[in-house]
Amino acid sequence: MIHFDNVTKVYSHQSRPALQGVNVAVEKGEFVFLVGPSGSGKSTFLRLILKEERPTQGGIHVAGKDLSRLSNWKVPHLRRRIGCVFQDFRLLPNKNVYENVAFALEVIGKPRRFIRKVVPEVIDLVGLEGKAHRMPDELSGGEQQRVAIARAFVNRPMILLADEPTGNIDPATSIGIMKVLDRINRTGTTVVMATHDAAIVDAFRKRVVELEDGRVVRDQSRGVYGQAYGGV
């Protein structure tokens, strides 16, 4: 599903590479934690998958497509197959829960009938039943992140990328968010989640890819967060 083939990324005006010779293959339906200290290149890894950045060297394949051969006007179609969640939720403050989720479908031109059918289903799936008409500022951080997940998932993407989705949320609520991501993973969606949250990584026991200074230093199935940062 996601193949990094000896990928190096050096940002312009920067001498130190953000990623260096990265080889990672994530298969369909996998759940992968991306861990590593700040600045190790986790977000860069995710941005490369979305073709928000281009690799300086190496090849990336996503959903069977060679990103280097994907022309710019086809990038939106790639992104429709990938959902994204961020630490800061990125909801539209002037739209309610339903509208925020529906927005993702409206802007890719989905018919209104379809939107009316699937949006409530997804709102239920992330555990926000009955809150469709709340505004973002009437929701807790955990609930806002559920809205963001609903928006990322409403178009049934093949891949869900999450960049520190529990970064702004307390541990107890984080577990709830993780359960939602797990539920989504069980529908066959590949999930890649960058995180600093040792407790969650240790509790879920999924594949762990660890980055350090832009290199993959560990790739372990059913792994833990890692000794170096005070994990198990």
Partner 1 sequence: MRVQFVLQEIWIGLRRNLTMTIALIVTVAIAMALFGTGVLLKMQVDKSNNYWSDKVEVSIYLCNKLSANPNCKKTEPNQSEKDAIRKQLESMPQVAKVVPETAQEAYQRAKEQFKDSPGIAGSIQPGDIPDSFRVKLKDPKNFAAVVAQMSNREGVDQVVNERAILDKFFKILSGLQWAALIIAAIQLIAAVLLVANTIRLSAFNRRRETGIMRLVGASNVYIQLPFVLEGAIAGLVGGVFAAILLSFSKVFLLGRLQKNLQLATPLGWLDVTTVIVASMCFGILLCALASFLTLRRYLKI
**Site residues (CB under 6 A) for ligand ATP?**
11, 14, 18, 36, 38-44
Q: Does 104 bind partner 1 (CB under 8 A)?
A: yes
Report helix, strand or coil for 166. Answer: coil
Site string for partner 1, 34-73 (x = CB under 8 A): ----------------x---------------------xx
Per partner kind, with CB cut-offs from 5 to 8 A, the member of ligand ATP, Mg ion, partner 1, none near residue 80 is partner 1
Per partner kind, with CB cut-offs from 5 to 8 A, the member of Mg ion, ligand ATP, partner 1, none near residue 38 is ligand ATP
Report helix, strand or coil for 109. Answer: coil
CB of 158 to partner 1, least distance (A): 12
Q: Where are the beta strands (DSSP E) in 148-214?
A: 159-163, 190-194, 207-212
Question: Count residues contacting Mg ion (CB under 5 A)?
Answer: 1
- Which one among 3, 61, 65, 80 touches partner 1, defined by CB under 8 A? 80
Task: Give the Å distances, CA to CA, from 6 to 15, 43, 50, 65, 214.
Answer: 18, 17, 17, 16, 12
Contacts of 14 (CB under 8 A, 6+ apart): none
**In angstroms, rounded to a whole number, what is the distance separating the alpha carbons of residues 188 and 212?**
29
Site string for Mg ion, 18-47 (x = CB under 5 A): -------------------------x----
Residue 98: exposure state from Cβ atoms within 10 A (0-12, 13-18, ≥19): buried
Binding site for partner 1 (CB under 8 A): 50, 72-73, 76-84, 90, 92, 103-104, 106-109, 112, 151-152, 155
